[in-house]
Amino acid sequence: MSSRTSNRIAVLMGGPSAERDVSLVSGRECAAALRDEGFEVFEIDAGADLASVLRDLRPDVVFNALHGRWGEDGCVQGLLEWLQIPYTHSGVLASALAMDKERSKEVYAAHGLPVVESLLVTREAAMAAHPMQPPYVVKPNNEGSSVGVYLVDENASGPARLDDTMPDMVMVEKFVPGRELTVTVMDGKALTVTDILTTGWYDYDAKYVEGGSTHVLPAEVPQDVFDACLEYAERAHVALGCKGVSRTDFRWDEARGLDGLILLETNTQPGMTPTSLAPEQAALQGISFGQMCKWLVDDASCFR
């Protein structure tokens, strides 16, 4: 942890991605928490003039509360390194890798972590015929928060009918039945396992609409599965080169025991409100939301 004096904090939020609204909520909550911790905080809705805004403001640290493309895919990280401003969370390479779901899965597999079959196809190909035997999921390769996720079940009459917001290239991934588990890694250490309960698919509404999901933590799963989630999340954090806080999501087919556990993706900019998954896990370890935000500031650096 750095002993650097960092009093002026610029919190980046909003931005132009599909996750803008979620980022605004995260940013405002983090800004409020940092003010309570005694920092001078400036809230910045990141736009095309971000470089000039930061040059004029000259913050000690940038707290990155952006979600989605541009904010967590290495783009803003590269800008901050160019400006030589210390910033939170992961650096350029780790952010780019984690946002690219197919490439991050290649990294997982190379490090012996369990993944499921997937492929990249054009949007047109995904709508023309089944790219693989159903059931499968179609989703953007470089977005998060369950933006644009389509489940094609085994009884589907045809391939997915994707809307116009889907990108030209999409990921098609074999559907894994079972439970949704997630693990936060903070300072290289896995905190706990959360079991996410929903009445249906864990989509955008389940994540962000009040009452859309229930979080059970620590998850009530067999000890070998619990321990594997912790280990795999730490290994994924290291394999991708993450810094600060990350969150790795899993699917677990309980009928198959430990063999039914697979990694879906790692989020380098997890949601940051007091009731978000990562802060909930920190709170279970006795780390308040304000303390977590302060730790991220203290952990900030250039060239991450």
Asked if 150 is an active-site residue, the reply is no
Asked if 267 is an active-site residue, the reply is yes
Asked if 213 is an active-site residue, the reply is no
Catalytic residue among 145, 213, 246, 276: 145
Catalytic residue among 69, 179, 247, 304: 247
Q: How far apart are CA 173 and CA 169, in angstroms?
A: 13
Asked if 143 is an active-site residue, the reply is no
Q: How far apart are CA 226 and CA 231, in angstroms?
A: 9
Catalytic residue among 14, 244, 271, 290: 271
Q: How far apart are CA 103 and CA 74, in angstroms?
A: 14
Strand ranges of the sheet holding 118-122, from the earlier edge strand across to the other edge = 118-122, 169-174, 136-140, 150-152
Given a contact cutoff of 8 angstroms between Cβ atoms, the answer to whether 218 and 192 are in contact is yes
Asked if 271 is an active-site residue, the reply is yes
Catalytic residue among 180, 265, 280, 299: 265
Residue 128 CB neighbours (<10 A): 12
Where do we find the tokens 């004029």? 56
Catalytic residue among 15, 19, 136, 150: 19
Catalytic residue among 108, 136, 202, 208: 208
Burial class (CB in 10 A: 0-12, 13-18, 19+), 234: middle
Given a contact cutoff of 8 angstroms between Cβ atoms, the answer to whether 185 and 247 are in contact is yes
Asked if 208 is an active-site residue, the reply is yes
Where do we find the tokens 């954090």? 237
Asked if 247 is an active-site residue, the reply is yes
Asked if 155 is an active-site residue, the reply is no
Catalytic residue among 249, 251, 260, 304: 249
∠ CA 265-208-27, rounded to 5°? 85
Catalytic residue among 73, 267, 276, 304: 267
∠ CA 246-248-250, rounded to 5°? 170
* Residue 193, SS3 per DSSP: strand
Of 88, 67, 68, the C-alpha closest to 77 is 88
Write out the catalytic residue numbers.
Answer: 19, 145, 208, 247, 249, 265, 267, 271
